[in-house]
Structure 1
Amino acid sequence: MQELHVNASAHTPSQIHSKQARRAVVATVIGNGLEWFDFTVYSFFSVIIAKVFFPTGSELSSYLLALATFGVGFFMRPVGGIVLGIYSDKHGRKAALSLTILLMALGTFIIAVTPGFAQIGFIAPVLIVLARLLQGFSAGGEMGSATAFLTEHAPAGRKAFYSSWIQASIGVAVLLGSGLGALLSTYLTQAQLENWGWRVPFLIGTLIGPIGFYIRSRIDETPAYSEAQTSESPLREVLRSYPRQTLISFSLVVLWTVCTYAILFYIPSYATRVLSLPSWMGFCASMVGGGVLIVATPIVGALADRQGRRPWLLCSAAAIFIAAYPMFYYINHVPGLASLLVFELVLGLMIAGYIGSILAAFGELLPTHVLSTGLSVAYNFAVTIFGGFATFTITALIAQTGSNLAPAFYIMFAAAVSGIGALLFRDQPRDKPKAHITLTGAVQ
């Protein structure tokens, strides 16, 4: 290691790029995390939302309607993915990311302030559906633009590590959402929760507008996008020139999205409705799952930069396939806080192993000038089909089969589909990381 003396008033290109990359990570993690926060709290409070906006006289019917409304937003995700993905590839990642966060904030605000069915009748569920459609449109353009933004800002040989922070931000959302849920369910009565307490997280989530927009408007456009020639028709080029790459991306997303919604988001409701446990236990378990993603996902990303993306994708998909049934069997036969914590810890580590390298893999499948569009198409169609209605499908399967282990089979199916995608994926030759200046001023 050699010490390097740098004039405090001068900055080398390496230092400038490193500073820009760090700002890009912070802006993406905060903005993406806050956007996922809004999806998280809807899922966590879906049981109460069912009572407030979808009273039918049947608890199961009301709950299924609330979950269907959650899923409705996913119908707009492919539309938002295509429209905002093209916008990102034509006008820049920065512009697209700033727009998505404002749209998400508006949808969240509508949910936060809409009176219940008892006050305004059928207008209430209609407004909730419109808000979910707006959120779905916004979220559809977020992942593709955010992935392109971070992978294009990343130094050579560190794309998986940088892009893994997008996944870590999902952990931030789960941790914040479940933490708020645990806090509210502990200190408020059930009547208070149903009257006004559930609205608090949505009001907090509305802050994504001014905060997120301010942060994202102050970041620089990616160097790779600035140097690349834009495509006149990104969607047509993706479908014509990269169908195999898009199909592989689609299959890889399936397990990612199913695990996110069926394991991280669904567990508080599962613990309450299926296991008959206090709601705070489910929220605490989800906090562990979110914490695991925050810590483990960047570690996996750093390792994947050295070892390749394919081994992590394959091994993690196989591990989730094997572990899903035993873990659901465990929490059903030994229900309680301890079993839920073990469940989230074990499966959380496996999910982190899978998603830690997945976005860098997408970056290797598609070129810069159509990356946002191609990923948005693959990601959002997979999320819409398999992820958005995961909780609805699982709840319906449990009701139809009478088996509380139905979620395990759905997850195993997703692991098999994504395992095939991992087999078809081939790692590209990776650039070696260039020497970079650490915060201590040393060259490594």
Structure 2
Amino acid sequence: MSQAATADLPDATTSAEYARIRRRAILSCAVGNFVELFDFLIFGLFAAQIAANFFPSGDPVVGLLSAFATYGVGFVMRPVGAIVIGAYGDRKGRKAALVLTVGLMAGATALTGLIPSYATIGIWAPLLLVLCRLVQGFSTGGEWGGAAAFLVEYAPPGRRGLIGSMQQFSVGLALIAGTLIAAVLNSTLSKEQMIDWGWRIPFIMGFVLAPIGLYLRSRVSETPAFHKTVDRQQVASSPVRDALTIYKWPVLAAFGLSVVGTVGNYTFNIFMPSFASGQLGISAGTAYYSSAAAAVVLTLLTPFAGWLSDVVGRKPVLLVSAIGYGLFSYPLFQYLVAAPSGMSLAVTQCISAALLGFYAGPLCAVLAELFPTKVRFTALSIGYSMAVTIFGGFAPFVATFLIRETGSPVSPALFVILAAVISSITLILIKDPTNAPLD
């Protein structure tokens, strides 16, 4: 088993050779993660057009609720993917699991872009859409934790925050790409063209990008930490059982830590463009350009925050963000609703993006440092995916529902504040694991 597991790791006899292997591994993981998350995020960005094609209704809010509910269904499968793919990655290696996730995502994304509308095939249209979304969720459930574990296990002590932030950096790039494509399409095509065929373009693009991620990941070496676990014959026979029994408290901590980041992301970056264009009268093109600008802020700040957490510790950086969300979410929503415009939307989203960058930067490192190598992939994935499923995936649905039930367009801020309280309490309770030994 040891010989087979280490067969693809080049013999790094010099520090320069090992540095080259590390750079290639980081690049392959980041590019693959970009492809994976781009494919997953575009569903939410084109929710209004998807609703018109698959959930026809006289009330546009009802149609949007249906689309966001389908968007959230993908998150229901994330814990399943976390368990199945996570266990596979802890037993067979990170590389094999990450190649699998990209392949699954590519197929589901391509099919989503090709499904005929409700007007053409009736009830089969939303059923096929939900099926594709379930496969996407299953794939992403294994991708996020696997990419985080892979990067942190390749990072030397003292640089785990920076290198781990490359996972979230690639998520930011995926968000930039998705929102820019949404902005360009909504600015150049008419509303009717977007509904008829324009929304399908990014799904086809996501499928075309997939072979790049597959190629890079298939040629990368397994992580040194996993090799050591194999060589020492410490591979867990049942990583899921161990994660939920021996490491149940760190898994719960990973859950609590992940809440505010995922709610902040899906409320301000995914829900807000549809909210701004559908209910505040801001043009769709302007809303998506604003989201693209916020994504740039997020992407630029994420590596800085990861580096800063290597210097001052994970907890201080994360607490600044979590408390910031608790203090500023309600005033930001009030500011936008009181004076809806492209400028107020950009200010609101960019401030949120700055807060999110400070949370996203250290997140991969702090979650990975909670667990030993033998269960890291599984335990990290379960904790994170449960938070994303319960709080993040349905955040657009919850936000739309709160507005409908309360009549207040500011009410989604209350959900963000709740998430901030949960993550802040978790941060206060845990011991800062910065640069703790991986095993």
Superposition TM-score tier, normalisation by shorter sequence: over 0.9
Letter matched to residue 390 of structure 2: I
Corresponding residue pairs, total: 423
The alignment partner of 2:431 has SS state of coil
1:192 partnered with 2:193: yes
Q: Does the 8 A contact of 2:298 with 2:354 survive in 1?
A: yes
Q: Measure, in 1, the Cα distance between the counterparts of 2:298 and 2:190.
A: 31
Q: Does the 8 A contact of 1:77 with 1:141 survive in 2?
A: yes
Q: Which residue of 1 aligns with 2:8?
A: none
Q: Which residue of 2 aligns with 1:301?
A: 306
1:419 partnered with 2:420: no
Letter matched to residue 341 of structure 1: A
Q: Which residue of 1 aligns with 2:77?
A: 76
> Following superposition of structure 1 onto structure 2, how do residues 39-438 of structure 1 map, counting pairs within 5 Å?
39-228=40-229, 229-428=234-433, 430=435
Q: How far off is 1:431 after superposition?
A: 7.2
Letter matched to residue 244 of structure 1: W
Q: Measure, in 2, the Cα distance between the counterparts of 1:15 and 1:57.
A: 63
Q: Which residue of 1 aligns with 2:4?
A: none
Alpha-carbon distance change, 124 to 282 in structure 1, aligned in 2, over 3 angstroms? same
Q: Does the 8 A contact of 1:111 with 1:131 survive in 2?
A: yes
TM-score, normalised via structure 2 length: 0.94
Alpha-carbon distance change, 276 to 16 in structure 1, aligned in 2, over 3 angstroms? same
Q: Does the 8 A contact of 2:90 with 2:235 survive in 1?
A: yes
Q: How far off is 1:39 after superposition?
A: 2.3
Please tell me the root mean square deviation across aligned C-alpha atoms, in Å: 1.5
Q: Does the 8 A contact of 1:250 with 1:382 survive in 2?
A: yes
TM-score, normalised via structure 1 length: 0.93
Q: Measure, in 1, the Cα distance between the counterparts of 2:22 and 2:297.
A: 24
Moved over 4 A (4+): none
Q: Greater CA deviation, 20-29 or 282-291?
A: 20-29
Alpha-carbon distance change, 70 to 364 in structure 1, aligned in 2, over 3 angstroms? same
Q: Measure, in 2, the Cα distance between the counterparts of 1:128 and 1:162.
A: 36
Q: Does the 8 A contact of 2:369 with 2:434 survive in 1?
A: no
Alpha-carbon distance change, 98 to 338 in structure 1, aligned in 2, over 3 angstroms? same
1:20 partnered with 2:21: yes
The alignment partner of 1:198 has SS state of helix
The alignment partner of 2:369 has SS state of helix
The alignment partner of 1:266 has SS state of helix
The alignment partner of 1:207 has SS state of helix
Q: Measure, in 1, the Cα distance between the counterparts of 2:271 and 2:96.
A: 33
Q: Measure, in 2, the Cα distance between the counterparts of 1:36 and 1:429.
A: 27
Gaps of 5+ in 1: 1-9, 433-444
Q: Measure, in 2, the Cα distance between the counterparts of 1:13 and 1:309.
A: 31
Q: Measure, in 2, the Cα distance between the counterparts of 1:120 and 1:165.
A: 42
Q: How far off is 1:242 after superposition?
A: 1.0
Q: Measure, in 1, the Cα distance between the counterparts of 2:321 and 2:197.
A: 41
Gaps of 5+ in 2: 1-10
Q: String of CA shifts for 1:179-232, please: whole Å, max 9, x gaps.
A: 001111111111111111110000001124312111110111001101112100
Identical-residue share of aligned pairs (%): 43
